[in-house]
């Protein structure tokens, strides 16, 4: 705030930072209480308590299928880091080449679109008919 008072126009130099601090504290407390009250009002209406009935039954087959499906993830160790900078650069190079090939194929497909070519032929025929 020190730099602000040096660059402020002469009209605002009579205002001291203390007034702003008091105003910020007062508004901050009021705003905090208001947000807390609104949050409590909305959360209390949105909460649904669980039923008092019996606990849900867990089927052993579902549990077994879940663990069987997740078993390969436990065996495979994640690769958290590259072995070297060269390996990282190689992976970026391979990924970049793959992206260039994908975008290049999409560009060629857009240029070689037979419908677009046919539309251009019809357009040129219509223009030739208009001229004749």
Q: What tokens were used for 41?
A: 């009002």
pLDDT greater than 90 at residue 98 = yes
Distance between CA atoms of residues 104 and 21, nearest Å: 59
Rounded CA gap, 13 and 2, in Å? 11
pLDDT band at 41 (very low <50, low <70, confident <90, very high): confident
pLDDT at 10: 58
Q: Higher pLDDT residue, 49 or 109?
A: 109
Confidence of residue 128 (pLDDT cuts 50, 70, 90): very high
Say whether pLDDT at 95 is over 60: yes
Residue owning tokens 């997740």: 70
Please give the Cα distance from 92 to 115 (Å, whole number). 36
Which token pair is 100?
């260039």
Cβ(1)–Cβ(17) below 8 Å: yes
Task: State the pLDDT at residue 11.
Answer: 57
What average pLDDT does this structure show over 84-98? 90
CB 82 within 8 A of CB 88: yes
Rounded CA-CA distance 31/97 in Å is: 54
CA separation for the pair 36, 38 (Å, rounded): 6
């Amino acid at each position: 705030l020190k730099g602000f008072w040096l660059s402020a126009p002469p009209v605002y130099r009579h205002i001291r930072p203390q007034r702003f601090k008091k105003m910020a504290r007062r508004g901050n407390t009021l705003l905090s209480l208001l947000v807390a009250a609104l949050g409590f009002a909305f959360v209390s209406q949105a909460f649904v308590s669980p039923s008092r009935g019996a606990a849900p039954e867990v089927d052993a087959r579902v549990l077994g299928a879940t663990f069987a499906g997740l078993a390969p993830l436990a065996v495979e160790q994640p690769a958290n880091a590259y072995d070297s900078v060269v390996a990282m650069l190689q992976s970026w190079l391979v990924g970049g080449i793959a992206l260039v090939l994908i975008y290049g194929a999409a560009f060629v497909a857009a240029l070689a679109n037979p419908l677009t070519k046919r539309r251009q032929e019809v357009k040129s025929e219509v223009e030739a008919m208009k001229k004749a």
